[in-house]
Amino acid sequence: MKKSFAVDKCAGSFTMAVLGVASLTALGVLPATVQAAEKAANKPAGKYVTGDFHNHTTCSDGTLSLRKLIDKSAGTFGLDWFVQSEHGGNGSRNCTLAEDPFEPAAPALNLPASSTIPSGGQPASAGKGPNQTWTSTIGNGAIKGDVSGTDTARNMWRWQMIQQYVYPVIEKESRDRNKPVFLGSEQNSPGHEHVSAAITEGQLPAAGAGNANALAMWEYCFDRNDTDKSRGADNQWDCAVPGSDKNGLLDAAARKIIVASGSGSGVAGHIKSVEGVKWMAAKFPKTSYYIPAHLERAGAFNPNGNNGYNIEHLRDFNNAAPTVSFGFESMPGHQAEAQRGSYSPNAVGGGTYGGTGIYAAKIGGVWDALLGEGRNWFFFGSSDFHNRGSFGPDQRETTADFFPGEYARDFVMSRTGSNKLGTQAIVDGLRSGNSWVATGQLIDQLSFVVCAANPGLVRKASQGAVEAAAVAAAAKSTDVSINGCASMGEKLVVRPGTDLIVSIVVRDPQGKSNSPYSFANPSLKQIGVTQPLNEPVLDHIDVIGGNVTGYVDPSNTAAYAGLIGSPAASNPSAVLAKTFNASTWTAGTDGTRKMTYRIPAAKVSQYLRLRGSNLPAAVPFETDASGNPLLDFGADGKIPCTDAACPSHMTVANGGKTSSFDVAAWSDIWFYSNPIFVEVVGSTKVAGIK
């Protein structure tokens, strides 16, 4: 049926909309001989669960106690899972102590108990708080390892914090909340900046007390800022990587690689970082992850220092440990800072683009280059919560960070069947690539599937059935699990000439978002659209596609290594393949948007991924004519915030308030999916996806 300019309602009118999986196969909707990467019957039932894995407390450079941060994240903002990370190295403050409630205590003020009041914690009269030092609260005698800091403010090494003090609090919070709350670490990566990492081995056992000893050891061994040489005191760790030819670099006393600063430190540091990833893969291949964070922020790689990452470093990590290093956090936290994402003009790309770094934001850039190899390299976001800037932790405004779950959320497929959600399901979900990220509550359901069309069936029936399955999956926050179809992070193997059916179903949630502002979105006001900041509307979804041409050999330096824009860091085949909006999707009254189309006669291996925004194309200072996000710095001081309710903390330019800080972030929201791969028999193998 030819589509007209009007909204295509063909798919929505199908009476086949409520078919089960067995019915689809019985009706011959899907070709029986198409091979999917994994049989549907082998996949336990799963659900997309929301979480955050990068955030900070006073144990490093944050401002809250462990309990208050967890309460905000898993409590107030309702995340399903939460990984509390912290910078490696050391710190002088005791984040295990809760804040005092406001004095007089809340009951005396006749206030109801609030989810923002920390659970447990110390009574006000005891006068404890998480800014107190380890020295003043446990005494210097309890601090292990090499001495760091002063007698009045001794630093505790992060490995001891993890092992002895923080993990017990985390485990109790997890049990009390009946949610997986566990520990990670933001590694100061040797040769680079930061990495969000975790080893879940030992954490949150089904019964009894667990431990985070594996994570503690990894922190000692591989964090750039952990200069302790005590081998973890009574732990007596040895950081050798099984079978590595780099073990000769280990310091004899500290039994870890120690990289000297100065000339060559970046190169030497990268070697140590790769060793760390290899160590994780050797010892904890299924219970760890290593995800470079805000990787554009510190600029390009510096061979003589610790700055950012070029594409070759990401390839190195993934080559060394594909089950551990499988993606990046190119959507940074700090989304409400004046320099969005905390990216300065010195960042690769000069800043963020709609809140995302250029490595993922640019079509045909680094991310597409990696996907174009058929690599399992996936996209994640985080809060990187440290503080609220000019505002307190219980205020809704912020000039720095959003809380975990407040603005950005990772939706990760976790297959637990009928079992309780635990750490393994989360890590497996992250590794699988079956995940997506949304900011500002732009969407809260996504079903994205590619199926092989059955040539024996009329187009309409095929497409309608796939869409119906996608609709059903989205409604249950799960994915389509049908032989002959692939979801995010999976690959569909087809014969040449097979038509592909692509179906996307999202839900733009009704009601209000977490934005505290209800005045009109200043970015959209520029084009005459009035949309309350706390009631964002999904404007469009783009499908980005590219070809898979195979892994690049590391010996082919020109194709393997290079700065942004170089052939090594580009995929010229990646294009905007399709765009859907209110004219071309079918809208439901509950906020669902469904859209399905056919790619005829697939000839080459390829991938598809999605992005979407509340901002249409050609919004001044926000998007270009093709809908690509523009450099966020370009909007500084440019978008007027003239509504009477525009808050007083906005930047003023030319005598008037301009959209900035959290208002700018709430105005400009996106979602990114992870890719679905299609491997055409006889074309390039998508080697990174099993």
Partner 1 sequence: MEPSVPNTAPTRTSWWREPLLHFAIAGAVLFGVDHVRNAGDEQTRVIRVSKDVDQEARVMFRNTLGRVPNDAEMQTLRARWVDNEVLYREGLAMRVDQGDATIRERVIFKALNVMQANLTLPPISEAGLRTWFEKHHAKYDEPDRFDFLEAVLVGKPGQADIDAFVAALNAGSAPQDGAAASTKSDLRVFSGRPRSNLVASYGAPFTASLEALPVGQWRALRSTDGVHVVRLEKKTMGERASFESVRTTILDDWKDATMQDLRTAAVRELGKKYTVSMAESAP
Q: How far is the CB of 347 from partner 1 (least distance, A)?
A: 15
Contact with partner 1 (CB under 8 A) among 209, 618, 645, 681: 618
Residue 116 vs 510, nearer CB to partner 1: 116
Residue 22 vs 625, nearer CB to partner 1: 625
Is 107 a binding residue for partner 1 by CB under 8 A? The answer is: no
Question: 373, 379 in Cβ contact below 8 A?
Answer: no
Is 654 a binding residue for partner 1 by CB under 8 A? The answer is: yes
Quote the DSSP letter at residue 353: B
Is 527 a binding residue for partner 1 by CB under 8 A? The answer is: yes
Q: How far is the CB of 286 from partner 1 (least distance, A)?
A: 39
Q: How far is the CB of 453 from partner 1 (least distance, A)?
A: 16
Segment interacting with partner 1, rule: CB under 8 A, options 234-242, 391-399, 403-411, 459-467: 391-399
Is 102 a binding residue for partner 1 by CB under 8 A? The answer is: yes
Characterize 310-331 residue by residue with b for buried, 16 or more Cβ atoms within 10 angstroms of its Cβ, and e for exposed: bbbbbbbbbbbbbbbbbbbbbb
Within residues 622-651, the interface with partner 1 by CB under 8 A covers: 624-627
Q: How far is the CB of 290 from partner 1 (least distance, A)?
A: 30
Question: 91, 135 in Cβ contact below 8 A?
Answer: no
Q: For residue 228, which of 156, 163, 280, 277 has the smallest C-alpha distance? A: 156
Is 578 a binding residue for partner 1 by CB under 8 A? The answer is: yes
From residue 13 to residue 42, the character string flagging contacts with partner 1 as x (rule: CB under 8 A) and all else as - is: ------------------------------
Burial class (CB in 10 A: 0-12, 13-18, 19+), 121: buried
Question: 444, 369 in Cβ contact below 8 A?
Answer: no
Is 132 a binding residue for partner 1 by CB under 8 A? The answer is: yes
Residue 258 vs 338, nearer CB to partner 1: 338
Per residue, the 3-state secondary structure of 216-252, as one string, reads HHHHHHHCCCCCCCCCCHHHCCCCCCCCCCCHHHECC
Segment interacting with partner 1, rule: CB under 8 A, options 128-136, 158-166, 181-189, 550-558: 128-136
Residue 518 backbone class (left: φ over 0; alpha: ψ -120 to 50; beta: rest): alpha
Is 540 a binding residue for partner 1 by CB under 8 A? The answer is: yes
Segment interacting with partner 1, rule: CB under 8 A, options 314-322, 407-415, 482-490, 574-582: 574-582
Is 579 a binding residue for partner 1 by CB under 8 A? The answer is: yes
Q: How far is the CB of 540 from partner 1 (least distance, A)?
A: 8
Quote the DSSP letter at residue 597: E
Is 617 a binding residue for partner 1 by CB under 8 A? The answer is: yes
What phi and psi values does residue 414 have, to the nearest 5 degrees? -125, 120
Segment interacting with partner 1, rule: CB under 8 A, options 46-54, 202-210, 308-316, 580-588: 580-588
Q: For residue 543, which of 504, 485, 491 has the smallest C-alpha distance? A: 504
- Rounded to whole angstroms, what are the CA distances from 580 to 171, 179, 503, 598, 669? 44, 36, 11, 13, 17
Full DSSP string of 475-522? HTT-----TTEE-TT-EEEE-TT--EEEEEEEE---S--S-S--SB-H
Contact with partner 1 (CB under 8 A) among 357, 372, 389, 562: 389
Question: 368, 317 in Cβ contact below 8 A?
Answer: no
Q: How many residues bind partner 1 (CB under 8 A)?
A: 56
Question: 191, 261 in Cβ contact below 8 A?
Answer: no
Question: 255, 231 in Cβ contact below 8 A?
Answer: yes
Q: How far is the CB of 547 from partner 1 (least distance, A)?
A: 12
Q: How far is the CB of 81 from partner 1 (least distance, A)?
A: 26
* Token pair listed for 364: 């045909």
Full DSSP string of 23-45? HHHHTT-S-TTPEESS-GGGSPP
Q: How far is the CB of 380 from partner 1 (least distance, A)?
A: 27
Is 576 a binding residue for partner 1 by CB under 8 A? The answer is: yes
Is 496 a binding residue for partner 1 by CB under 8 A? The answer is: no
Residue 13 vs 116, nearer CB to partner 1: 116
Q: How far is the CB of 127 from partner 1 (least distance, A)?
A: 3
Q: How far is the CB of 423 from partner 1 (least distance, A)?
A: 30
Contact with partner 1 (CB under 8 A) among 526, 531, 549, 566: 526
Within residues 299-338, the interface with partner 1 by CB under 8 A covers: 338
Full DSSP string of 247-304? GGGB-TTT-SB-PPSSTTHHHHHHHHHHHHHHHHHHH-SSSEEEEEESTTTT-S--TT
Q: How far is the CB of 337 from partner 1 (least distance, A)?
A: 9
Beta strand extents in 508-634 (DSSP E only) = 540-547, 575-581, 586-587, 592-599, 606-613
Residues that bind partner 1 (CB under 8 A): 2-5, 63-64, 99-100, 102-104, 109, 111, 116, 127-132, 338, 389-395, 526-528, 540, 575-584, 597, 600, 616-620, 624-627, 654-656
